Structure 1
């Protein structure tokens, strides 16, 4: 999306410690400006459409593709006054790094709000990091044998993550010609480091992070500064509805850092439920954990996802939409992992999204410690 967020005078006073370096070019300064209101006011409940799945009897009924990550973010922003400042600093670092690379002639990969134009992302940003490997800890919290998913199901999810984040997924060739040049190999890999299994009396968990504490019958986080933690639970509900998963954005508390996914939407083999049986729920949630927003910016046409090469849209897409699907006078990138379509119909990240994710691992980035010795 192409809107640049110009800083307000009030923000300049509130975040005086984050003033622009006087040595930066005006272009870098402009692209690094942030309107923090975009972090807070939109939730997954807005414009949500429930989906009926009859593919699995244990999963029949109303199931929302909505991941509720934005709802959880809003709750955490309300509960923790310091979180907004942390997220501001992360966003500032992201935009300054990407804008600086563009200004130095080392690529034009987008990811900082855009610079106006035709919506293309240009050449990838060269961050100098090479392939980034993320160790993964999977916590399986189960109340019965069905929820105690197999090692094969867990391994299938790790494989899906590696394929999706490196554009080696078998369906990447389905990306329309319009967007084919924006498909990104993110050079991010995932290695399963540990599986922790916890028997629990709870079969359905709310989105309040209770599964992340052994004191609640869940499992405590493991090495969050160096690992991605994924909690796989029997089920997730919000407002009486079944949901697929949610993630914590960078900047949140270490004790709750990671991704939560219901057991029957994790991986692509074993006890998985169509149409979310391809492992893409976890791909989507890990995208949030790596600081990606939903493809439509969680608002109407003027709301941004902070990525230059993703077209504007005014709402999520569901099911398997036909191409082209037009909103905001442009074709939606419905096949992007950060939309709400079925697993079989999402199969790409963009170059701008790649730049945004990888900036977290650069010097001073909020997930830099994953790469440190």
Structure 2
């Protein structure tokens, strides 16, 4: 089989792997303006987290979404129903309407948050013409890297729609990082402050939505919930410091954790002297299976408020 062709029976990864932080670090080295923009984004986030600023955002913010389906095989050209199922999951999770919110351990129930965001497939394209919010692009490759090739028509993908008007979601055949040790990546996002032409979220088709080609244990749409969290400026809850206890996600109400949690842990899972409650592995920004993540916190919602009233304020209606 050629290197760029993937057998549809290729096993699903047993552990969640997200490519957002490698992309973030690459942009920091490649783009001086990105580092400056990130400083400004984090300054705004700090003000909201510490109460120096409070949200003036009224009601629920609706974010128009365009889904760019990039496919080589008919199976990878996922159907409208699979796309609709993903939008439904995003809306439940970000509004705290997911039925499994009841599975959050009692000690963290008071911290759960309605982020007051909803997502809707775009009804108007960048030129003002009617659209169903879905583009479909046949490509010659089954494999895209985290170098953003899927985001450009010239490299077999699809160009982004204006990032100040749409959340661009690319659905790819398969995603890998240039680092071969990471293997297949479920998805990755670009934090606020990056280049507009690459702004958005990329997800493998087998980890998108709840029907069609979605495969367990990543078939409940939570990969998009996680990656859109990065797009809204949320970090992983363990702070991306390897297995140490010195990292931070800059959110006070997510306990410090020794590293990512995988699979379906049992409460409590104690690391970093965070007894008795341990790691908040039920948080969408950990690495657990879809069936084991249920919540955002009030602190994370404050960071999202900061993003929507700062770097992504173009999504607020006048």
TM-score calculated relative to the size of structure 1: 0.76
Matched, 1:255 2:202: no
**DSSP 3-state at the match of 2:145:** coil
CA distance in 2 between counterparts of 1:189 and 1:286 reads 12
Residues 270-297 of structure 1: CA distance to partner in whole angstroms, max 9, x if unpaired?
A: 1111101110001000000000000101
Matched, 1:220 2:159: yes
Task: Answer with 194-203 or 238-247: which moved more.
Answer: 238-247
Q: How does 1:208-247 map to 2 (within 5 A)?
A: 208-238=147-177, 239-240=179-180, 241-247=183-189
**1:291 corresponds to:** 233
**1:205 corresponds to:** 144
Residues 114-137 of structure 1: CA distance to partner in whole angstroms, max 9, x if unpaired?
A: xxxxxxxxxxx5433321111000
**2:44 corresponds to:** 93
Residues 313-344 of structure 1: CA distance to partner in whole angstroms, max 9, x if unpaired?
A: 11000000000000112111000000000000
**DSSP 3-state at the match of 1:211:** helix
Name the larger-Rg structure: 1
Unaligned regions of 5+ residues in structure 2, if any?
A: 1-6, 123-132
C-alpha contact 2:308 2:315 (8 A) present in aligned 1: yes
Instruction: Give the one of 39, 58, 70 matched to 1:141.
Output: 70
Residues 246-273 of structure 1: CA distance to partner in whole angstroms, max 9, x if unpaired?
A: 0000000000000000001000111111
Structure 1 consecutive aligned stretches of length 4 or more whose deviation exceeds 4 Å: 61-64
**1:326 corresponds to:** 270
Q: How does 1:79-158 map to 2 (within 5 A)?
A: 79-99=30-50, 102=51, 126-158=55-87
CA distance in 1 between counterparts of 2:46 and 2:185 reads 32
C-alpha contact 2:17 2:184 (8 A) present in aligned 1: no
The number of residue pairs the alignment matches comes to: 294
CA separation of 1:232 and 1:312: change in aligned 2, threshold 3 A: same
Residues 143-182 of structure 1: CA distance to partner in whole angstroms, max 9, x if unpaired?
A: 0111000000000000000000011111100000010000
**1:74 corresponds to:** 25
CA distance in 2 between counterparts of 1:61 and 1:223 reads 33
| Alpha-carbon offset, residue 93 of structure 1 | 1.6
C-alpha contact 1:334 1:341 (8 A) present in aligned 2: yes
Instruction: Give the one of 309, 315, 318 matched to 1:370.
Output: 315
TM-score calculated relative to the size of structure 2: 0.89
CA separation of 1:332 and 1:209: change in aligned 2, threshold 3 A: same
**1:305 corresponds to:** 249
Unaligned regions of 5+ residues in structure 1, if any?
A: 1-55, 105-124
| Alpha-carbon offset, residue 68 of structure 1 | 1.3
CA distance in 1 between counterparts of 2:300 and 2:31 reads 27
CA distance in 2 between counterparts of 1:157 and 1:361 reads 22
**2:99 corresponds to:** 170
CA distance in 2 between counterparts of 1:308 and 1:127 reads 21
C-alpha contact 2:98 2:294 (8 A) present in aligned 1: yes
